[in-house]
Structure 1
């Protein structure tokens, strides 16, 4: 219900702004026609006073500025009422992505989808630089697993950004390498050159259409 109400409000505001912009544009065109006609038809023996002409030019400039302002407001509203406005509801939630996510004091929930025919599956962990730091057997099958941030020796890894992939093996041969998704907390939404982006804790930037799931924080 809240989402529907918000959509109605944005639509109504957009319609009102569009109407205002159309009115301002019409007033601007009318003013320009009147000023042009006045200049063409003025009495050569009694031309318009310089001060009067300056006032009309100032008015002309004001109308032009108002029209441009309305256009800019309309563009801003179009952005706000689209994806970016909806992304505000994501802030504070956890988004699932294959991009690096922040590991801090709590475990991370991973979503793994190895090859279903694999008889062995390895989970590979990489740090922010993309360097492999651990490789562990997790067994075949798809679904969610908890990652507790341990290296190959069992020591806890430092806080930072990590990404994951699975290596599917059958009969001791690699049959597939797939990215594993992880949940990271959304802290910001913004408009980027490729569209709406979400910023995750730790600074990872993810396109909104690359987020495959959302969930509330634990």
Structure 2
């Protein structure tokens, strides 16, 4: 991994140097071109084909540098983030995130209060940042809490499934000081992908940067299905 990191660093330095030289060359080229246009012979104007070709070459070099930047990001992610994230598939994880997807008329969040609060307000925001629901929970103690939402807005209208909503928690103590509230998700990792050079994992239908994972554990094994031919007494004995 150290070798990969060194190579990526070296590639980054090379791209940065190349971009700096390209900028200087392009500025020089424009200055020379401007001077030529100003001082050209009106009876024998300069051939526009040459400087057009030079512009095309400059553009090609710039595009190559941008491609190098993208490749550097991919190399960095492939060497660390994507490999680590893939190993999370099928694992139960906690990750800091305030997002949840509304499915089957329900969305659920978890949040942690750093201390006991005397004032506590929970707001649900849509993708545009609009507050669609406001609740004042009665459980204000320090520690982990779960908030379940039935998908209805403040007018009582049921919102459509499939949307991603954000939880905003505002808490204050008896002195009026803010209490830190950290939202998080707890669920099974079902997918990994890269978007714009970032590695994202899917938890409960929501895509979250993999570096936000705070804990990992084995997925809980599902109980074996009861035999269709078994009697209630046999089922009880199997469960025991």
TM-score by length of 2: 0.45
How does the TM-score come out when normalised to structure 1?
A: 0.49
